[in-house]
Structure formats: structure tokens, C-alpha cells
Structure 1
Amino acid sequence: MLLSRYERMIARRYLLPGKGEGFIFLVAGISLAAVMLGVAALVIVMSVMNGFRAELFDKIVGLNGHAVVQGYGGRLPDWREIVAQARETPGITQATPLIEQPLMATYNGRVEAILVRGMRVPDIRSNATLKGKELSGSLASLTPGSGRIGIGSRLAEALGAQVGSQISLLSPQGQTTPFGTVPRIVSYTIGAIFEIGVYDYDKAYVIMPLGDAQSLLLMGDAVGVVELDTVNADQVGTIIAPFAARVGSRGLVADWRQLNAQLFEALEVERIAMFTVLSIIILVAVFNILSSLIMLVRAKTRDIAILRTMGATRGGLIKIFMVVGTTIGALGMVAGLVLGFVFLFFRQDVVWFIQKVTGQNLWDPSIRFLTELPSKPNPVEIVVIAAMALVLSFLATLYPAFKAANTDPVQVLRYE
């Protein structure tokens, strides 16, 4: 929208407070602040929600794969053949055999529920979710027959154990006697303490070599699960369909959507609901822009009439008031983006500060799943938020602008 020199001058004067127009300027300032807060709130909330989904997806899928083949009865005796068939299937990039079994762990009289995860040593060392996450010790020390295991940081805190401590794992798969089955109790040395970043995993996971897990659970050469990674997690159903048809008689094939459907569907519903609710803030700010422009038109009625008598066109007046209102919305939008990104950059510091001031634990990992407040801004969503603020601000200028353009100078100046 190109403005002439006099139109730019008038628009600039209308943006700044004139004599006796402090209230109009106050309303316009409130409108700008409301747009800023609305845009900032949307950017912050949507980025945090995206961060939640991305972090949970990376951690959950990183440990559990895009899909799994679960053996009937918890056993896959022919897992090598299944792994070979998976690697021959187009789109499947990796097949990882493992054992996953809930057990109990004891140390110095403390007892905790755990989830034993037996993996081949190369898979332990190459797993992206585990790699570099050791707080103490090293996962490289986990070798077959070494008697060393890795445990999550929250589990270590709960047991009061550290690297070098010996903990006992209790397995119900024991020897059968005339008095019933005697549980097996096997001691292991903690070789590494890791922190994945998901509370439930850090509270329960015990990592050990596959052979040691098979011995502990008396599984022989069988495994319980084969994890599958694909080239595209969003297309996993289509990719694994031919493979599922081949191995369906030997195990149940399920992808990450089926295994975690409730969690990710809940996040998506909450994300849409938050976007809708917070958009109302911008809508309210737009009504403030509308009211401030209406008051400005009423206050400037005489000036507008004089401009019309001096040759100002209706189109010129429309452009002036459109520019004034859109400028308020644009400044609020830019300020909101800046405020939102600053908050996201210091988000964890803000959480710690509020916790310190209030004395409340605002971020309990046992409730929030993750140990820190995540963030992942989506450029497309940010552009949509900015465009929505600008479009609504522009629409709010239409009525005041046409109202000003339709001012009849004869009626206004009749008694001057």
C-alpha cells in the first residue's frame, strides 16, 4: 500500500499522541501490548507443545523403535530369521533383537520395580538415545559375562546406589521344586548410570548385554522383541505392511502409533485446544485496535473534513487509517515474536526463578515425563501466527477507515 508524502505525514501524526488525545493513545498502546502478549503466548505455548512431542517421540521411538515384533508368549526363538527378513524389506533400516522384562531390584534393603532391557553390545553402544547420556561410569563397560549393568539416574537415586555398587535382581523365572518355583536372585555390579531425560525410563530401566539377560531369565537363545527402524516414522504402517504379512504367524507386529496412541493423541488435542484458546487474546487485541481507531476518527472528524475540502480523496483517507491500525498490529506482532523467543531462550531459568520465588516445584519430572521444559519452534506455525495477527489487525481497520472516508465536510463545517 503506497502512500503519498502528505498521507505518510498524517498517518505518522495520528500514530503519536496529540493535544487532548492521551486517552486514545493509551487505548492504542493497550492494543499494541495485547497483540504482543497474544503473539508471544502463542509462540511460547506452541513451541513448548512441539518440544514435548518431539522430545517424547525421540526418546520413546529411540528406545522402542518405529515398530516392534513381539513374540507370542514373550519369546521369539527364530529371531535371527526375523531380523534377516526385516533387513531385506525395503524401507526398514535396522532390526534390533532384545529382551524387555519387568523385574525387581534390591540394594541395602530398598526394593524398586525395574524394566530389564537386554541388548547386544554393539546395539547398546550405537543407540542414539543412550549414547553420551552417562552421568557416571560408561556403557562401554557392559560386556557379556562381565556382570555389569547400566541403570537410570532416578533408579540409582531411589536405591541409593552408585557406580561400583552391587544390586540384586529378582526374577520369577527360577528353578521348580516340590514346594513351587524358587525365584532367581542374581547380583550385578553397576557399570554406568545414565539419564535419558524421560522420568519413567530413568526410574525403571536397567540395561545389560543380551546374553546376560537370556541367562537371567532362562530364555536360552530366544529374545522377546525385535525392534524395527524405518526411513520414515510417519509412513511406518505402509513400510512394514509386507513384512508384517510374512511374520504375522510368529509374532505380533505393532508400530509406535499403536503402542503410544493415547499419549500422542492427547498431546495433539491439547495442542489444538491451546492454539484456539490463545488466539482469542489476539482477537481481543484486534477489537481494541478497532475501538481506538473509531475514537481517533471521532476526535479527528473536523481535521478529516478540512482535508477533504483541501482535496484529500476518499481512497487516501482509507489508506491513512488502514496504515495506522495495521502499524499498531505489526509493531505488536514484532514485539510479541521478540518476547516469545526471549522467553523460550531463558525458559528453564524462568521456571527455576518462579520455583525459587514461590517455593513450589513447578516442574516435577514424575508428572511432566521430561526432566526439563522442552521447546521446538516451528517456522511454519510462527509465520501463521504472525500472518494471523497482521490480517486481523488489517480487518479491524476497515470500518474506521471507511467511516473516515465517508465524512461529509459540508455537514461537519457548516457551523464553523
Structure 2
Amino acid sequence: MILSRYERMIAKRYLLPGKGEGFIFLVAGISLVAVMLGVAALIIVMSVMNGFRAELFDKIVGLNGHAVVQGYGGRLPDWQSVLKQARATQGVTHATPMIEQPLGAIYQGRFEFALVRGMTVDDIRSSPTLTKNVKGGTLADLKPDSGNVAIGSRLAENLGIQVGDTITIFNPAGRTTPFGTVPRQIAYRVAAIVEIGVYDYDKAFVIMPIQDAQTLLLLGDVVNMIEVQTVNADKVGQILEPLAAKVAGRAVITDWRQMNASLFEALAVERVAMFVVLSIIVLVAVFNILSSLIMLVRAKTRDIAILRTMGASRVGLVKIFMTVGVTIGALGTAAGMVLGFTFLFFRQGMVNAIQFVTGQNLWDPSVRFLSELPSKSDPIEVTVICVMALLFSFLATLYPAFKAANTDPVQVLRYE
């Protein structure tokens, strides 16, 4: 929208407070602040929701792969042939055997639930999810028959364990004796403590070489499952269709969406709901722009009539008032972007500060899965939010602008 020199001058004059126009300027300022808060809230919430999904996906998939080929009854006796078939499947980048079994952990008389995971030594040392989150000790000490394990940070806290302490793993399915089944208890040295960042894993994980897990669970040369990574996580079902046909009757394939369906579906629904609810804030702010422009038109009725008698066109008046409203919306949108990204940059510090002042735990990992507030901004979503705010601001200017343009100077100036 191209403005002439006088149109720019008048639009600028109407944006600044004049004598006796403090209330109109106050309403316009409130409108700007409302747009700013609405845009900032949308950017913050959508970025945090995206961060939740990305962090959960990276950590969960980093530990469990894109899919697992799991044997019936939790046992996969011919896992070598299944492993060979998985690696030969087109689109599969990595496949490895794995054991996972819920057991118990004991330390100095204290008992906690433990999720024992047996992995190959190469996988333990090459997994970024593990190697980048070691809080104490070293994963290099995890070798077959070494008696060393790595445990989650929350499990270590709950049991009061430090690196070098001995933890006892309790397996209720022990050996059968004439007097009944004797639970199996084996002591292991804690060689490393890891903090993956997902509470459910950190509070239970006990990671050991797969050979040690087979010995603990009396499995022999048997594993529970084959972990599979593919070239595209979103197309994992399509990629593994040929493998599913080959292992039918021996095993079942479960991908990451099925393993965490309720969690990711809840995030998707909440994400849409939050976007709709917070968009209403922007809509309310736009109505403030509408009301401020209507008051401005009523206050400037005499000025508008004079401009019309001096030769100002209807189109010129429409452009002036549209420029005023869109400028308020644009400034509010720009300020909202700055506020939103500033909050996201200092998000964890702000959460910690609020917790310190209020004395309340606002970020309980046991409830929110992750140990820190995540964030991941999507440029497309930010663009959509800004365009939406500007579009609403533009639509709000139409009625006041055409109302001003249709002002009859004869009726206004008749008694002047």
C-alpha cells in the first residue's frame, strides 16, 4: 500500500498522542501490548510443544530404535537369522540384538524397580543418547563378564548409589530346587551413571553387556528383541513390511509410534488445542485495535470533513486509517516475536527463578517426562503466527477506514 506524502504525515500524526487524545492513545497502546502478548504466547507455547515432541522422539528413539522385532513370549531363539534378515532389508540402516526385562534393584536394604537392558558393547559405546549423558564414571568399563553396569541418575539418587558402589539385581525367576524356586541375586559394580533426560528411564535403567544380561536372566543364547533403525522414521512401517512378512509367526514388529502412541497423540491434540485457545488472545487484541480506530474516527470526524473539503479522496482516507491499524498490529507482532524468543532463550532460568521465588516445583520430571523445559522453534509456524496477527489487524481496520471515508463533510460542517 503506497501512501502519498500527506497521507504518511496524517497517519503518523494519528499514531502519536495529541491534545485531549490521551485515552485514545492509551487504548491503542493496550491494543499493541495485547497483540504482543498474544503473538509471544503463541510462539512460546508452540516452540515448547515442538521441543517436547523433538526431545522425546530423539531420546526414546535413540534408546529403542525406530522399531523392535520382538519374539513371542519375550524370547527370540533364532535371533541370528532374524538379525540377518533385518540387516538385509532395504531401508534398514542398523539392527542389533537387545534384552530388556523389568526386575528389581537392591542397595543396602533399599529396593527399587529396575529395567535391565542388555546391549552389545559396541552399541553401548556408540549410542549418543548414552555417551553424551554420562554424569559419572565411564561406559568403557562395561565389558562382558566384568560385573560392571551403568544405571540411571534418578535410580542412583533413590538408592543413594555412587560410582564404584555395588548394586544387587534381583531376578524372581531363579533356579528351581527341591524346595521351590530360589530367586536369583547377582551383585554388580556401578561403573557409570547416566542421565538420559527422560524420567521414566532415568529412574529405572540398568544397562549391562548383553552376555551378562543373558547370564542374569538364564536365557542362554536367546534375546528378547532386535532393535532396528531405518532411513526414515515416519515411513518405518512401509520400510519394514517385507521383514514383517518374513518373521510372521515367530515375532511381531512394533514401531516407535505404536510403542508411544498415547504419548505422541496426546501431544498432538494438546498442540492443536493450545494453538486454537491462544489464537483467541490475538483475536481479542485485534478487537482492541478495532475499538481504538472507531474512537479515533469519531474523535477526528471534523478533521476528516475538512480533509474531504480540501480534496482528500475516499481512497486516501481508507489508506490512512488502514495504515494506523496495521502499524499497531505490526509493531505488536514484532514486539511479540522479540518477547517470545527472549523468553525461550532464558526459559530454564526463568523457570528456576519462579520456582525459587514461589518455593514450588513447577517442573517435576516425574510428571513431565523430561528433566528440563525444551524448545524448538519452527520457522514456518512462526511465520504463520505473524501472518495471522497481521491479517487479523488488517481486517480490523476495514470497518473504521470505510466509515471514515464515507463521512459526509456537509453534515459535519453544517453548523461550524
Structure 1 unmatched ranges of 5 or more: none
Residue aligning to 1:45: 45
CA–CA separation in structure 2 for the residues paired with 1:148 and 1:288:
65
Residue aligning to 1:219: 219
CA–CA separation in structure 1 for the residues paired with 2:307 and 2:293:
18
Residue aligning to 2:14: 14
The one-letter code sitting in structure 2 at the alignment partner of 1:48 is V
Deviations 1:128-163 (A, max 9, x none): 211221111011110001100000010001111111
Cα drift, residue 177 of structure 1: 1.1
| 2:241 is the counterpart of 1:241 | yes
Report 1:37-76 matches (<5 A).
37-76=37-76
Residue aligning to 1:2: 2
| 2:304 is the counterpart of 1:332 | no
CA–CA separation in structure 1 for the residues paired with 2:198 and 2:132:
15
Report 1:174-253 matches (<5 A).
174-253=174-253
Residue aligning to 2:318: 318
Report 1:32-181 matches (<5 A).
32-181=32-181
CA–CA separation in structure 2 for the residues paired with 1:134 and 1:124:
12
CA–CA separation in structure 2 for the residues paired with 1:29 and 1:160:
56
Moved over 4 A (4+): none
The one-letter code sitting in structure 2 at the alignment partner of 1:395 is L
Task: Please report the TM-score for the alignment, with normalisation by the length of structure 1.
Answer: 0.99
The one-letter code sitting in structure 2 at the alignment partner of 1:96 is T
Residue aligning to 2:354: 354
The one-letter code sitting in structure 2 at the alignment partner of 1:271 is R
Deviations 1:172-197 (A, max 9, x none): 23211122111111110000001000
Cα drift, residue 229 of structure 1: 0.7
| Aligned partner of residue 387 in structure 1, secondary structure | helix
RMSD of the alignment, in Å?
0.7
Cα drift, residue 82 of structure 1: 1.0
| 2:413 is the counterpart of 1:399 | no
The one-letter code sitting in structure 1 at the alignment partner of 2:387 is A
| 2:367 is the counterpart of 1:389 | no
Cα drift, residue 88 of structure 1: 1.1
CA–CA separation in structure 2 for the residues paired with 1:244 and 1:93:
16
CA–CA separation in structure 1 for the residues paired with 2:147 and 2:232:
37
Deviations 1:281-317 (A, max 9, x none): 0000000000000000000011011111111101110
Report 1:287-326 matches (<5 A).
287-326=287-326
| Aligned partner of residue 129 in structure 1, secondary structure | helix
Residue aligning to 2:411: 411
CA–CA separation in structure 2 for the residues paired with 1:199 and 1:367:
8
CA–CA separation in structure 2 for the residues paired with 1:235 and 1:9:
57
Residue aligning to 1:281: 281
Aligned residue-pair number: 416
The one-letter code sitting in structure 1 at the alignment partner of 2:291 is S
The one-letter code sitting in structure 2 at the alignment partner of 1:219 is L
CA–CA separation in structure 1 for the residues paired with 2:393 and 2:403:
17
Structure 2 unmatched ranges of 5 or more: none
Task: Please report the TM-score for the alignment, with normalisation by the length of structure 2.
Answer: 0.99
The one-letter code sitting in structure 1 at the alignment partner of 2:348 is Q
| Aligned partner of residue 128 in structure 2, secondary structure | coil
